[in-house]
Amino acid sequence: MKVQTASATITFARTLESESAEFYETLSQKHPEHKDVFLSFARENAKNVAQIERAYYGVITDAIEGCFAFNIETDEYAFDAGLAEDSGLSDALGRAVEIEGKILKFYSDAVEQSKPLMADVPRAFEAVAKRRRGRRPQLEHTSEASSRRESA
Amino acid sequence: MALLEEPIKEVRTLKNFIGGEWVESSGQLVDVVNPVAGQTIARVPISTKEELDAAVEAAKNAFPDWRATPPVARARCLFRLKELLEGCFEEISRIQTQEHGKTIDESRGETRRGIENVEVACGIATLMQGLYSEDIAAGIDEYLIRQPLGVFGIIAPFNFPFMIPLWSAPYAVATGNCVVIKPSPEVPISQTRLAELTEEAGIPPGVWNVVHGGGTVGNAMLEHRDIVGITFVGSTPTARLVYQRCGDTGKRVIAQGGAKNFMVVMPDCNVDRTIPALMTSFFGNTGQRCLSGANLVIVGEDDSFYDNFLKRVAEAASRIVIGYGLDESVQMGPLRDGEKKARIIGYIESGTREGATLRLDGREDFNIVGDYPRTCFLGATIFEHVSPDMRIGREEIFGPVMSVMRARDLDHAIEMANANPFGNGHAIFTSNGGYAREFRYRVISGNVGINVGIVAPMAFFPFSGMKESFFGVLHTQGQEAIRFFTESKVVIERWF
């Protein structure tokens, strides 16, 4: 689906954050030894949504190109948040890296496309993208720690 | 996309808000219709002159106490109103989409600009400070005090139901005046909701009044001896009439009229950024705004630039998603009603008759997202080979119609814009600072855009207008509104 309005883009961002938060909440239950990391991601997702919405609601006025600001093809950022019953932690972490990559790409594209909007909106997208960039090393660290534990 | 939830779920009969009470009108009731599907969402009274008189009386009675309320205390009421508006932001925005038809992004934009005006008026304690000069002569001082005047009337149009009364009302009230607002009877619901919030914010009874109605109430406002001033936004013929009649009855007046805005495109413009700006300008709010682009003037004799640019404009316009504004994917909603659509179609027919070429025909070439009747919908329309003397190049259409013209050079484009009787929101798209300065300097337009297609001044700037687009001296919003709503009293003081 193509998304062109600011409103629909914000809703899409909310959906990505919400679905990935659910994914991490599920992981925290399946792998309680890493629940701190997974739940911190889920909590951060809620903050991301709040930051983006605050920026959007704060600057949207009748003067900006809100209805013509974006050209987002949502299928490009779609991800599968489901995990097979018998999947292990390494599968889950692999999926998490994949999900983060998709969402990061969305935010990077959104930063570029939201430039016609007032600065706060691209700045909010950039701030969220920056936080998300920090997740990959954390996921890799979790994976390494898990491998070490298994080999020990 | 799925529709956002509608806040208006049942048809209620609106009441007037007079002296802090919700008063049933004895006037005839008229349906308020959501233009998307023709569904009645409220009933609004066409109030009587006596009901207007009662509101003015309530305002007049409230005035002495309110003007004596310290500005900081008045500001606190407005701070509370701002907080309440933030809390109801989404509800108010969706109401506008339901009552008017605009998209949810446009409604939210309107809500935000309305709130911004309340925010600016919250600074009243400093905004209405006077002047003081010591020793203008030996032992003599002189100072200026800004004092409120009494009761103001605010007559609102249909195209921005929530925001436009807020260009005036917060400043009027902050400076110690009382107001009577007459919303457009086509879109009265968001103003009713706003009045409910003023009550909750602690604005005292009689300071903020709403009387629904049509010409009877509007005329009675213009004639009323206890109304000291009027702000009006609407068509140019009515704005002129309001101005004249306020002159006759000695009222101060801000009368904002129509427009025919020229969007001048230089060959050196940033095409990728200009196209969305033009889409918003010409087709945002379905062209029903006094800052909409109307004439697209492509400058230069380079046919290939003209052809390529216009091709991209037409492609973008033909892809506009049309439907119910509560679907967040929708970029353009319906017109307010079928009568307005018929009027615009009349213009499209006149364009064809006068020899313009229809590049994109919004009468037929569009699809609606969702299962809605086409009654109030019209697609984006583009005419080529328009000359400034054709009706579609000269008169305000107030719909999603773009009239494309060519100019030899910038001088020619400015001449074309200046020859038009309106002067509201002309804009230039260019990467050249020299062209931009020349345009800004010479074009006769109250608001000027440089790479901005909707030249809507922020709340702390006046909403200007020139020529047939504005009748008056001071404007709504910001410092000019403070001056409009106050009288300057000068005192020269000496003590023996």
Contacts of B191 (CB under 8 A, 6+ apart): B156, B161, B162, B165, B181, B183, B210
Residue spans of the domains in chain A: they are 2-151
Question: Are residues B190 and B205 both part of a single domain?
Answer: yes
Range of the domain at B21: 12-257+469-494
| pLDDT at residue B430, rounded to an integer | 98
Do the bridges between strand B357-360 and strand B381-384 make them parallel or antiparallel, or are there none, so unpaired?
antiparallel
Rounded Cα–Cα distance for residues B429 and B412 (Å):
15
Question: Are residues B203 and B225 both part of a single domain?
Answer: yes
Torsion of CA B273, B316, B4, A39, to 10 degrees: -50
CATH classification of the domain holding B59: 3.40.605.10
**DSSP for residue A68:** G
CATH classification of the domain holding B388: 3.40.309.10
| pLDDT at residue B32, rounded to an integer | 98
Question: Which residues of chain B are within 8 Å of residue A120 when distances are taken between CB atoms?
Answer: none
Which of the following CATH numbers is that of domain A2-151: 1.10.10.10, 2.60.40.10, 1.20.1260.10, 3.30.565.10?
A: 1.20.1260.10
Candidates A8, A36, A24, A10; CA nearest to A83 is A24
pLDDT greater than 90 at residue B51? yes
Q: What are phi and psi of B169, to 5 degrees?
A: -55, -45
Candidates B214, B147, B223, B229; CA nearest to B180 is B229
* Residue B395 belongs to a domain: yes
Continuous segment of H or E residues that includes residue A6? helix A6-30
Chains A, B: CB contacts within 8 A come to: 85
Comparison of pLDDT for A114 and B261, the residue scoring more = B261
Q: What are phi and psi of B262, to 5 degrees?
A: -95, 125
Question: Are residues B229 and B334 both part of a single domain?
Answer: no
Nearest chain A Cα to B277, which residue? A65
| pLDDT at residue B390, rounded to an integer | 98
Rounded Cα–Cα distance for residues B99 and B324 (Å):
11
CB atoms A8 and B328 under 8 Å? yes
Considering its fold, how many domains does chain B have in total?
Answer: 2
Question: Which residues of chain A are within 8 Å of residue B163 when distances are taken between CB atoms?
Answer: 62
pLDDT tens for B244-275 read: 999 999 999 999 999 999 999 999 999 999 99
* Residue B446 belongs to a domain: yes
Place of tokens 């903020």: B208
Which residues share a beta bridge with B402?
B382
Q: Token pair of A52, please?
A: 């983006």
Radius of gyration for chain B, computed over Cα atoms and rounded to the nearest angstrom = 23
* Residue B461 belongs to a domain: no
* Residue B374 belongs to a domain: yes
Average pLDDT over residues B329-339: 97
CA distance A11 to chain B (A): 8
Question: Are residues B35 and B164 both part of a single domain?
Answer: yes
CB atoms B105 and A5 under 8 Å? yes
Give chain B's mean pLDDT.
97
pLDDT tens for A116-135 read: 666 788 999 999 999 999 99
CB atoms A61 and B89 under 8 Å? no
The separation between the first and the last C-alpha atoms of chain A, rounded to the nearest angstrom, is 48
Question: Which residues of chain B are within 8 Å of residue A67 when distances are taken between CB atoms?
Answer: 103, 105-106, 279-280, 284, 331-332
Contacts of B232 (CB under 8 A, 6+ apart): B154, B155, B238, B239, B242, B253, B254, B255, B256
Total length of chain A: 152
Is the CB of A74 inside 8 Å of chain B's CB atoms?
no
* Long-range contacts of residues B57-61, Cβ cutoff 8 Å, at least 24 apart: B57/B226, B58/B18, B58/B19, B58/B20, B58/B205, B58/B206, B58/B209, B59/B150, B59/B151, B59/B178, B59/B179, B59/B180, B59/B206, B59/B207, B59/B209, B60/B150, B60/B151, B60/B178, B60/B226, B61/B19, B61/B206
pLDDT tens for B9-20 read: 999 999 999 999
Whether the model clears a pTM of 0.90, i.e. scores above it, the answer is: yes
Which residues share a beta bridge with B42?
B12, B32
Least confident of A67-71, B115-119, B378-382: A67-71
Question: Are residues B242 and B283 both part of a single domain?
Answer: no
* Residue B5 belongs to a domain: no
| pLDDT at residue B132, rounded to an integer | 98
pLDDT greater than 80 at residue A147? no
Candidates A20, A13, A10, A9; CA nearest to A43 is A20
CB atoms A62 and B277 under 8 Å? no
CB atoms B280 and A61 under 8 Å? no
ipTM above 0.85, yes or no: yes
| pLDDT at residue A84, rounded to an integer | 80
Average pLDDT over residues A89-103: 92
pLDDT tens for B419-471 read: 999 999 999 999 999 999 999 999 999 999 999 999 999 999 999 999 999 99
* Catalytic residue positions of B, numbered: 290
